[in-house]
Structure 1
Amino acid sequence: TISAAARRGDGGWLSLSGRKILVSDAGAARRLIVAVRLDGAPALVLLTPEDLPAGALRRETVIDETRRSFSLTLDGVTVAEDRLLDPDRAGATLEHLHLAANLLAAADMVGGTQACIDYTLDYLRTRTQFGKVIGSYQALKHPMVDAYTRYEQARSHLYSAAHCFNEQGTGEIAVRMAKAAADGAYSFAADRSIQFHGGFGFTWDCDAQLYRRRAIWHAAQFGDAAFHRKKLARLLF
């Protein structure tokens, strides 16, 4: 849902209002394309940092501290109407960008899942307890097999989505399946990694928390697994 708005003024100017949150890397961007509602329809407006008043861009504190996230306040921003991109293509462009962003996020999540599993297995193969390597205990073996199975499923969905991304209908279904599968796989693998590292896993010194934070961040971007499954229910049934 687009909550920001644009209003046409006298002399060919556009007045913007509203607020955007979780805008990645906005502090380093030389161009910003913001989605607004204009005359009841979605529209895209091109902005530069020079168009923004002081304080319009603020750094956010987010779960994944490796990300640079910003909130953008559009109140008081006025630009020439020629900054308005083709209104007839705005809706289709936003849908395409949404799917492309989810495909890229799924790829990042699948890669993160594999790295998280490798990181955890390395620990399970070297840490000893009660005179045995802890990776030899079934209570740890079986969840790691589950994590790897979920990873393989998510990777297959990702490859399928990348292959048929441009196919109308099929591409959207595949992308939403890929994001939902990657969300579940990444979260599960990172959760198990934290637990299997014991007390150390709950500290800043253990990299397991980095994977979990990245999984939460991706779930907050462009829809989590529940969001995409809801969309899939309408597409498939």
Structure 2
Amino acid sequence: MLGSEHDDLRDAVRHMLDRADVSWTGLCRQIGVAGLAVPEQYGGAGATLLESHVVLEETGRVLARVPMLSTVLATQALLLSGNAPACADHLPGIVDGSTSATVLWADSVSETVACVLDGDVADVLLVATPDGLYLGDSTHRVHTPAMDESRRLATVRLSGGTRIGPPAPRLRDIALSALSAEQVGAAQRCLDMTVDHTRTRVQFGRPIGSFQALKHRMADMHVLVETARSISYAAAENPDLAAVAAAHCAETLSTVAGEMIQLHGGIAITWEHDAHRYFKRAHNSAQLFGQPHEHVARLVDVISSRRAATT
């Protein structure tokens, strides 16, 4: 599924994200992260969502404050609209980082929507409603303080919009699979920090990582993370698996973040340590595009419909 070119992409993104002066514009113009899954005619790389997942995993690893997730959703919403003029107007700017965009879900284009990703700073609002995709207008936007400060959320009051395409139910599946990649990256970082800590924390004259009980717990964490990664990448290529990825990856990050705090001990609950940031991200992400039990219910519907089709 992943080849050497994906490893090269991962290394390039990680190198930039590890720099103190990293910027969204730099990521877009030097690596082209915003346009990986955008056709070349609009300035993109003409790759697939799998490449975007590689980047999302890396931004999730460091809880990067860049609009990668909202940008992936916005570009895919425009492409799903099938509206060539709208794509030509907006995609080139989004790809080079000069235009910011986000997606929100609403029943109509005349309501107030909470918890919109990057909603207070986006130049373009794409609204997914039951009757179609819209370029939305807003009369009021306000930043929403959240427990997870690394995730920018806003409340947006819509005041109409221009319809650019039919309903796009597949967009939510893309959102769930993209979010799962972020969750995998964050979970991997939790595991890495825990392993590093247990190698250096000495108790009773030995590193605590040498204790069998802790080895078993970290082995369980590793299995959870690798399983979540496999499911997430499968969902990138098959959106029908998005509900599986959403439910499993959310649970994985919550579990691994909790274990990280347990195995770090008291230092993990200090403000100076990063553990609390990942724990907050775990709980914030689990609610972002619907709750886990809703994803399980959607999965049941998919399985039931497939069984009905084969009988």
Q: TM-score, normalised by structure 2?
A: 0.60
Corresponding residue for 2:188? 114
Give 1:1-237 correspondences, 5 Å limit. 4-6=107-109, 16=110, 18-36=111-129, 41-47=130-136, 51-53=137-139, 56-74=140-158, 77-78=159-160, 83-86=162-165, 89-90=166-167, 93=168, 95-163=169-237, 165=238, 171-172=239-240, 174-237=241-304
Amino acid at match of 1:46: L
CA distance in 2: counterparts of 1:78 and 1:129, whole angstroms: 62
CA distance in 2: counterparts of 1:125 and 1:227, whole angstroms: 39
Amino acid at match of 2:164: L
SS for the counterpart of 2:233 is helix
**Contact between 1:183 and 1:224, CA under 8 Å: does it hold in 2?**
no
Comparing both structures, which one devotes a greater share of its residues to strand? 1
Question: What do you get for the CA RMSD once the two structures are aligned?
Answer: 1.9
CA distance in 2: counterparts of 1:147 and 1:78, whole angstroms: 47
CA distance in 2: counterparts of 1:52 and 1:178, whole angstroms: 32
**Contact between 1:4 and 1:19, CA under 8 Å: does it hold in 2?**
no
Corresponding residue for 2:34? none
Q: 149-158 vs 133-142, which deviates more?
A: 133-142
Q: Answer with 1 or 2: which has the greater Rg.
A: 1
CA distance in 2: counterparts of 1:119 and 1:230, whole angstroms: 34
CA distance in 1: counterparts of 2:190 and 2:200, whole angstroms: 16
C-alpha offsets along residues 89-108 of structure 1, whole Å, 9 cap, x if unaligned? 12xx1x12101111111111
Q: TM-score, normalised by structure 1?
A: 0.77
C-alpha offsets along residues 68-94 of structure 1, whole Å, 9 cap, x if unaligned? 1100123xx255xxx1223xx12xx1x
Residues 3, 33 of structure 1: alpha-carbon distance in 2 compared, 3 angstrom cutoff: closer
**Contact between 2:269 and 2:276, CA under 8 Å: does it hold in 1?**
yes
**Contact between 2:120 and 2:156, CA under 8 Å: does it hold in 1?**
no
Offset at residue 145 of structure 1 (A): 1.0
**Contact between 1:218 and 1:224, CA under 8 Å: does it hold in 2?**
no
- Unaligned residue ranges in structure 1 (runs of 5+): 7-15, 166-170
Aligned pair count?
A: 200
Offset at residue 208 of structure 1 (A): 1.3
CA distance in 2: counterparts of 1:223 and 1:134, whole angstroms: 38
C-alpha offsets along residues 186-220 of structure 1, whole Å, 9 cap, x if unaligned? 11110011111111111211111111111112111
CA distance in 1: counterparts of 2:172 and 2:106, whole angstroms: 16
Amino acid at match of 1:57: R
CA distance in 2: counterparts of 1:195 and 1:78, whole angstroms: 48
State the identity %. Answer: 34
**Contact between 1:103 and 1:161, CA under 8 Å: does it hold in 2?**
yes
**Contact between 2:231 and 2:244, CA under 8 Å: does it hold in 1?**
yes
Comparing both structures, which one devotes a greater share of its residues to helix? 2
CA distance in 2: counterparts of 1:102 and 1:60, whole angstroms: 22
SS for the counterpart of 1:32 is strand
Amino acid at match of 2:224: R
Residues 97, 196 of structure 1: alpha-carbon distance in 2 compared, 3 angstrom cutoff: same
C-alpha offsets along residues 82-138 of structure 1, whole Å, 9 cap, x if unaligned? x1223xx12xx1x12101111111111111111110111000000011222111223
CA distance in 2: counterparts of 1:234 and 1:46, whole angstroms: 30
